[in-house]
Chains A and B, each alone.
Chain A
């Protein structure tokens, strides 16, 4: 067939014409298929069979591994006894965002990694999927959280950032009867749940539904479009409210520090993911034919897999060290690889090649570990690329905070109660020092901070 003979010509033509970035690379029905649930909701039989595998361990390792200390054996037992509502209550008691955590938690490095059946047979109980089974059941049966608000205390608390940390904190404060104003810079509440989660982990509008569910407790006033440092400032909040919780995440993105980073086609992964999450029609979202992702964390995997699912032909994650050093879990790495993403290790970005203001290729230098220090070998490879995604970490936008707070390595310093250097300001989630950059850890921060705030205000 002539297609084979024609291929190089088409290829050349398109390269000369500039980057190959186009929408609608896939047949119409492929988008729904590609972006469907990574792990579909277990049906009743599947949940029963899986729940029956739990040994109801004493002082269970899974429970200890959960940052929010969900009583996992208890909720699984409740599923097995035909009480999924009770199971959900057990989960929500520790983690009001149990529904989202069931979807996005890297369970393979948390509860499921230490499951005794992982030890016994290499097959842990599917804790995450069972959690989703019960929380989804609850949220479809009941429109409000299983908590009852305490009598109003008259105390006002400002929670800045309506992501997992802020939502968790706001809910727990509301339960204690406080009045919460929940600010967020974006148009919608939810934070990374709404704007940052890989689409195949949270399909439909679950993030928005979960926000509504959390707000159903009452006593939480949501104000979106309010950004610290522009139309909101910490000093005023401290003056107007009895306490402040900062769950502002990491709004800044690290740059590669290369020439030509301003060219079109060099994109912040988190921005593209946000666009993808908000896109009404994925077939209208332009994506390159050849993609290179710089980074080694969850965001790198998320963008790599999703661009592949959007129809990109060649997707490469370039990481400067060995695969064992990647922050993305082993499971995530495998997900990338089974999705057809190439993981190229020991390669760091050296330069961006472009034509007419657009990127056409990236130069990567081979690296090596010399007595613990990462050095370039001088060998440079050029990979053609229509899009280069930067996924090398996010940073706290310090200008938003003024200089009242103590920071360390670019993050807010908090104590065990998530209290900052200011007596009336607490913080949690990705913006605090020592954080784990996990949704579930953010939820725990919010919960602990809320209890601490409550103790301080009712003392």
Chain B
């Protein structure tokens, strides 16, 4: 069985699955339950200064659902911990003492004054916690007070605060980044410049989950009004993956450890984040939807998959997909694929046909010789993959690449064996040609 033990910036945990700083990690009771369930670590819900913040007493969460009310996106307007600092610190100390093999990182958010950070770091250090995570991501409530994403959106502030933390503490420091920016590489570079040991991302995305059409207010409403909150869950995973990959492949931050966050629900999600460079993953929505027990299959599944692939430890595949994250202009334009429908698996719903017919390239039949039948018309198929995505039967439609030398029925031209991309394409006015050299 593969070894899932993880050493993330010197913080050891029996597996790479940590609970993110959020409601599930707000107190000893929950964290102990999580550790009993098998979680490798937690990032304790963000501590602030006393007096503690207060939360609304109405709804804090909103959701969007897929079919059968599957929760695919969750948003929240909860603030950092609303419990006294002393209580949290006491519990953190106790939990770390009782569970020495688990990672226990403490999330922090205090005003951007050096002394405030010095004060809280000292107290956290006394708990024996493994490290700190700087919450520069929270997009609601705290940001209006000059903290959270208000810091994360200004690289200079990130660098400044990170530097204070590294200067005044011996603890490993993770900087948690907000996705509510235009280029995530800048805050990551700033964190690195400030001396951060790692970054974690993404925090939640600014969002309004819906509108209550009866009371004409964002939903969920607190006494008739709604405020934007932080969006997370399976729906944000693609955004998070891209941001993780951007940092992993940016020469300025390449190699900077990353803790991946954003919609991790299964072992496969975790493996994907890790393949893009995350050394650990943090989970919240999956636990808030199904309970802590989901970690069991995350552990089992990741381990089984690693066995299948011959990986014996996680660092053998962390970052393995990063070299294959490219930019559009470098994709091989000579690669040609065609959709292929497996007639044995096809249930004849016709969704591939109508999607292609109405919105794409008219490349799938609905009738062959007077019989309901869905077949790809190779002469029209551009290999766009839409049919694969709308087909309800996984694996029924596949994209088959054409061998070099064969004739593409659409263009009537042979498939070139050599790689060629846009940068040298004759249609590109900026093309780099040999003549220009």
Q: Choose among B69, B348, B354, B393 the residue that contacts A61 (Cβ–Cβ < 8 A).
A: B348
Asked if A59 and B366 make an inter-chain contact with CB atoms under 8 angstroms apart, the answer reads: yes
- Given A49-B68, A52-B68, the answer on whether A59 and B351 have CB atoms closer than 8 Å is no
Q: B354 and A58: CB pair below 8 A?
A: yes
In the assembled complex, the Cα of A52 lies from the Cα of B68 at a distance in Å of 6
Instruction: Pick the residue among A49, A55, A120 that contacts B351 (CB under 8 A).
Output: A55
Are A58 and B347 neighbours in the complex by a CB distance under 8 Å? no
Interface residues of B in 51-78 (CB under 8 A from A): 67-69
Looking across the interface, which residue of chain A has its beta carbon closest to that of B352? Answer: A58
Residues of chain A with a CB closer than 8 A to B351's CB: 55-58
Indicate whether A116 reaches chain B with its CB closer than 8 angstroms: yes
Partner of A57 from B68, B349, B393 at Cβ < 8 Å: B349
A459: interface (CB < 8 Å):
no
| A393 to B393 Cα, complex, angstroms | 44
Query: Closest CB-CB distance, B344 to chain A, in whole Å?
Result: 11
Interface size class of A (residues with CB under 8 A): 10 to 19
Choose one: B353, B366, B392; the contact of A55 (CB below 8 Å). Answer: B392
Q: B350 an interface residue at 8 Å Cβ cutoff?
A: yes
- On whether A116 and B348 interact (CB within 8 A), knowing A58-B354, A58-B366, A61-B372, the answer reads yes
Q: How many residues of B contact A (CB 8 A)?
A: 14
* Binary CB contact string for chain B from 361 to 397 against chain A (1 if under 8 A, 0 otherwise): 0000010000010000000000000000000110000
Specify which chain B residues have a CB less than 8 angstroms from the CB of A80 in the assembled complex.
Answer: 67
C-beta contact mask, B272-305 vs A, less than 8 Å → 1, else 0? Answer: 0000000000000000000000000000000000
For A50-64 the 0/1 string (1 means CB < 8 A from B) is 001001111111000
Q: From residue 63 to 115 of chain A, which have CB atoms closer than 8 A to chain B?
A: 80
Shortest Cβ distance from B367 into A: residue: A59
B372, A59: Cβ atoms closer than 8 Å:
yes
B-chain residues with CB within 8 Å of residue A49 when the two chains form the complex: 68
CB-defined contacts of A48 to chain B, threshold 8 Å:
69
User: Are B353 and A58 in contact (CB-based, < 8 A)?
Assistant: yes
**Whole-angstrom CA separation of A60 from B392 in the bound complex:** 15
Give the complex CA separation of A57 and B366 in angstroms: 11
In the bound complex, residues from chain A placing their C-beta under 8 Å from that of B372 are 59, 61
| Interchain CB contact under 8 A, B347 and A120 | yes
Do A55 and B349 contact each other (CB < 8 Å), given the known contacts A61-B372, A120-B393? yes
**Bound CA span A117–B347, Å:** 8
Query: Distance (Å) between the CB of A11 and the closest chain B CB?
Result: 55
Distance in Å: Cβ of B27 to nearest Cβ of chain A = 34
List, in ascending order, chain B residues with CB within 8 A of A55's CB. Answer: 349, 351, 392
Residue with the highest number of chain A CB atoms closer than 10 Å, among B348, B349, B351, B392: B349
Within 8 A of A (CB), among B29-85: 67-69
Which 5 residue pairs of A and B lie closest in terms of their CB atoms, listed nearest first? A58-B350, A58-B354, A52-B67, A116-B347, A57-B349
23 A-B contacts, Cβ less than 8 Å apart? A49-B68, A52-B67, A55-B349, A56-B351, A58-B349, A58-B350, A58-B351, A58-B353, A58-B366, A59-B350, A59-B366, A60-B350, A61-B348, A61-B372, A80-B67, A116-B347, A116-B348, A116-B349, A117-B347, A119-B347, A119-B348, A120-B347, A120-B392
Binding site for A on B (CB under 8 A): 67-69, 347-351, 353-354, 366, 372, 392-393
A interface vs B, CB < 8 Å? 48-49, 52, 55-61, 80, 116-117, 119-120
